[in-house]
Chains A and B, each alone.
Chain A
């Protein structure tokens, strides 16, 4: 067993400040959730609380998701000296309100914040006086000193990350919030996680790598978080086995990496060791890119077949080269169709052998500035062409922090504002986009047009595969 599994126990010194870590999410999400994703746990919080506790800095914790009213949140926050929050864009309004309440009922208390929203939207955080300290970027190598001695730091703190995920301790998952109703407890599998349609429960979510190195114009996460070494394969497998033995049996795994299918040498080691040394070759969800699938098709196929990579998440985004260029996706239509054909062929073969075929989980964007109707038809055609797919379709959103988002905000074309962009109140996010056309498209009004081109694509792809087979 790994040494980093052993967490030293420290007694809470009564002279120590009372510290509260507030897990953020919508009220009631851990009482009576409406969907699976809102029940997922925060790996950032789990990691940082584990580090704090290993260093003797104990924190209490509860989640806004465990509460059903702000009065309950207020009651549970009373009497603390320090409030710590990991703030994402979609939890920003909750963090803002919690900080206001905390300061009102604990006027001498200090509020420490960090997280992705602090990193990409610092101006917004700075305008809130209740946020006493704002940590940008990775926090794992600064949080102990910051929490122990916040007065030694300026208001804005530049985070320090680990050079490698091998330096991270294993998350103590009992530091995550528990489901807060008997009904939810019965199916949650805490401290593992509930199923979300990607594999059988209980689900173990895990990170093996951090940050996608590509520079898509709608994301750009690697502009904010420095690269770091991937978690060694042995550590990943040992953690899964530990979770299986301690809290399991595990039903399936979700690898939360922004980009799992990178670093071929790591993937080859995973291919070799996961089936051999994991207690079970649990089916898993993990992300890839169409161009890397095309670049390393043998490795991709081996991973799907031998490691039970059952749900392959690929952000195809668009079925049009024009739009893929606008998005700086660095993938082509041909890359997308190659990946689709390859997984279909693997799936057909597995199905013929009585095995469950792998499925795509695919993010698709519509309503991208510059997209023509024909571009959108091509995207819908690509979706219809794909035999086994769970599509996740959304309208493009110009988020602050991304290159295209910056540009559209600067040009005054974004309909998202600081007041509403966290809550996605409407589909309409960019000026000049014909959203009625897209609504009609999604409701099937252009299906005849889409289907007309589909037969041609099927014929072309069939010829392509015939030619490849002959070659």
Chain B
């Protein structure tokens, strides 16, 4: 089944395929946010809705670790990334 992706979601898939890593974070003030990290450690906050949509579509999965999980491309996500690169 083809899933319609937004441009932001497509970019997120491409960045993960290029070796950037997606993590979720939370802080003691109750903030929860997702960050995509480049290999040099710089991070950009990405939309929680976009990540949840990719997880829902089966393109991204995580190690389901609490309280901070690391995300990666599933096989379907990797295949999609290959077609986009």
Contacts and interface: CB of A to CB of B under 8 A. Distances in A.
Residue of A391, A393, A440, A444 ringed by the most chain B CB atoms within 10 A:
A444
Interface residues of A, number: 31
Contacts of A69: 29-30
A391 to B, nearest CB: 7
Interface in A426-459: 427, 436, 439-440, 442-445
B63 to A, nearest CB: 5
B67 A68 contact: no
A27 B69 contact: no
Nearest to B18: A443
A345 interface: no
B48 A34 contact: yes
Given A392-B65, A439-B39, A443-B19, A27 B29 contact: yes
B67 to A, nearest CB: 6
Contact of B72 (A26, A34, A392, A443): A443
Interface in B2-33: 16-17, 19, 21, 23-30, 32
A34 B32 contact: yes
A266 interface: no
A354 interface: no
B32 A394 contact: no
B63 A392 contact: yes
A38 B67 contact: yes
Given A37-B64, A424-B67, A442-B72, A97 B26 contact: no
B29 A394 contact: no
Contacts of B78: 444
Contacts of B69: 35
Contacts of A35: 64, 66, 69
B30 A37 contact: no
B64 A70 contact: no
Contacts of B68: 423-425
A390 B25 CA distance: 22
A179 B63 CA distance: 25
A36 to B, nearest CB: 9
A90 interface: yes
Nearest to A25: B67
A104 to B, nearest CB: 17
B32 to A, nearest CB: 5
B16 A443 contact: yes
Interface in A394-444: 394, 423-425, 427, 436, 439-440, 442-444
Nearest to A27: B30
B76 to A, nearest CB: 13
A70 B67 CA distance: 19
Contacts of A443: 16-17, 19, 21, 72-73
Interface in A276-328: none
Contacts of A440: 19
A27 B67 CA distance: 12
A255 interface: no
A35 B66 CA distance: 9
B70 A427 contact: yes
A139 interface: no
Contacts of A26: 26, 28, 30, 32, 67
Given A90-B67, A440-B19, A68 B39 contact: no
Nearest to A26: B26
A425 B17 contact: no
A37 B24 CA distance: 14
A425 B19 CA distance: 19
B39 to A, nearest CB: 6
Contacts of A97: 28
A394 B65 contact: yes
Given A439-B19, A445-B19, A392 B30 contact: no
Contact of B26 (A34, A392, A444): A34
Contacts of A191: none
A219 to B, nearest CB: 15
Nearest to B81: A444
Contacts of B25: 425
A94 interface: yes
Interface in A33-50: 34-35, 37-38
A439 B21 contact: yes
A94 B16 contact: no
Given A392-B65, A443-B72, 5 more contacts: A26-B28, A26-B30, A27-B28, A34-B26, A70-B29
29 contacts: A26-B26, A27-B28, A27-B30, A28-B30, A34-B24, A35-B66, A37-B64, A37-B66, A38-B66, A38-B67, A68-B30, A69-B30, A90-B66, A392-B63, A392-B65, A393-B70, A394-B63, A394-B70, A425-B68, A427-B23, A439-B19, A439-B21, A440-B19, A442-B70, A442-B72, A443-B19, A443-B21, A443-B72, A445-B19
The 6 A-B pairs with the shortest beta carbon distances in the complex, nearest first, are: A27-B30, A424-B68, A37-B66, A28-B30, A393-B63, A34-B32
